[in-house]
Amino acid sequence: MLDIRFVRENPEIVKENIRKKFQDQKLPLVDEVIELDKRNRAIKGEVEALRANHNKLSKQIGGLMAKGLKDEAEEIKKEIAQSRGRIDELSKEETEVEAELLKKMMVIPNIIDPSVPVGKDDSENVELERFGEPVVPDFEVPYHTDIMETFNGIDLDSARRVAGNGFYYLMGDIARLHSAVISYARDFMIDRGFTYCVPPFMIRSDVVTGVMSFAEMDAMMYKIEGEDLYLIGTSEHSMIGKFIDQTIPEAELPYTLTSYSPCFRKEKGAHGIEERGVYRIHQFEKQEMIVVCKPEESMEWYDKLWKNTVDLFRTLDIPVRTLECCSGDLADLKVKSVDVEAWSPRQQKYFEVGSCSNLGDAQARRLRIRIKGGKGNYFAHTLNNTVVAPPRMLIAFLENNLRADGTVAIPKALQPYMGGKTELVPKKKDK
């Protein structure tokens, strides 16, 4: 959410930012919030003047009564009563105007960084850099669930009977590999100075609206019936929510946290939940990283965060690339974002395995996360990034470490988490 003063003083900048995001339907909001802000300030001014006059008149009553001027005192009392009625009317209007102002302000997108490429959607995202050499093996790479099935590692049919499409049972070595990757990612981030955290997996509505846009909320979040609670779609939500209504001493920053959680997503508006695959699913687990820092440090942290993900994937022998998200692909709260994509030997293309975002002070402003500095309080900046998100990460791992004989190599970095195993051996041969 933007500062209303910024909108008031820079309406054309705000409108141009909306155009860059190809959300022209939101352009009228800028003039509407400016008018609401004008009315809000006028109400406050009138209420302040009425209260000042009210206090002045109240002081006169005692003096008039002391002089025996009862009729004059009664007239002033009537004037005060009228003043009170007007204040009550204005206070009610003020509440309504502020609610409508906040509602509209929450929909106006954040100002994107000047470096963000302008584009309508993810088809116009821009490749930045590649890490590792993409390899196309001289044997056919099966579909990822077919690879898992050779290890008796996945049961989609049972999951479908239990919960429907978009769920899975991971079994045996594949389940162990899943847990190993999560544990390795946890320790990888701890070794890089991040504090490990297991957060709540449900959050209240005020946290939900503080960390994400309404469009994201509608497309992602599962609501707990009868309670003011939502299942998290990523631990970033509860991790940033941890600081709601907090004023953080400047000397304590930055906070660098890495968190584990299950994640739950409706995937509303997606291209459909696959019956066979585990690429797009309703439930998965993830290791995340978040940073709360001073504004002048956020871009430096942004670069550090996505590099952590690239480095981790490279230790597992997975080629990756970074892709700059264009203006039209940025969620409304984001200032800048980069996707990390892993190489798929089967598809012979890259696919998304993580996303790093700088949200500026948007989340902090909504959640009232302030920094206490020497020259007063100001809003923090927040960032988040995926470390790993199995089972999607498993797709990249299995395809890139698969051998012609069906075995899967375990990179050295992961071997301690797999009981010292150097490879996975199929339980059954492909038919």
pLDDT value of position 49: 87
Burial letters 222-245, b for 16+ CB under 10 A, else e: beeeeeebbbbbbbbbbbbbbbbe
Residue 300 lies in a domain: yes
Report the CATH number at residue 173: 3.30.930.10
Do 116 and 125 touch, CB atoms closer than 8 A? no
Amino acid identity, residue 149? E
For the chain, the domain total comes to 2
Domain that holds residue 25: 4-105
Q: Note the pLDDT tens digit of each residue in 145-157.
A: 999 999 999 999 9
Share of the chain above pLDDT 70, in %: 94
Same domain, 205 and 67: no
CA dihedral 199, 204, 206, 212 (to 10 degrees): 60
Identify which has the larger pLDDT, 62 or 187.
Answer: 187
C-alpha distances (whole Å) from 230 to each of 154, 203, 209 are 28, 5, 11
Same domain, 298 and 167: yes
pLDDT value of position 255: 98
Distance CA 144, CA 279 (A): 9
Same domain, 85 and 144: no
pLDDT confidence bin for 431, thresholds 50/70/90: very low
Number of other CB atoms surrounding residue 127 within 10 Å: 11
Same domain, 336 and 391: yes
Distance CA 258, CA 139 (A): 38
Distance CA 343, CA 130 (A): 10
pLDDT value of position 213: 80
- Specify the pTM: 0.89
Same domain, 170 and 33: no
pLDDT value of position 380: 98
Same domain, 360 and 413: yes
State the DSSP string of 189-231: HHHTTPEEE---SEE-HHHHHHHS-HHHHHHHPEEPTTSS-EE
The token pair that represents 184 in the structure block = 């390795």
Amino acid identity, residue 298? S
Residue 430 lies in a domain: no
State the DSSP string of 38-61: HHHHHHHHHHHHHHHHHHHHHHHH
Q: Note the pLDDT tens digit of each residue in 218-262.
A: 778 999 999 999 999 999 999 999 999 999 999 999 999 999 999
User: Is residue 71 pLDDT above 80, yes or no?
Assistant: no
User: Is residue 181 pLDDT above 50, yes or no?
Assistant: yes
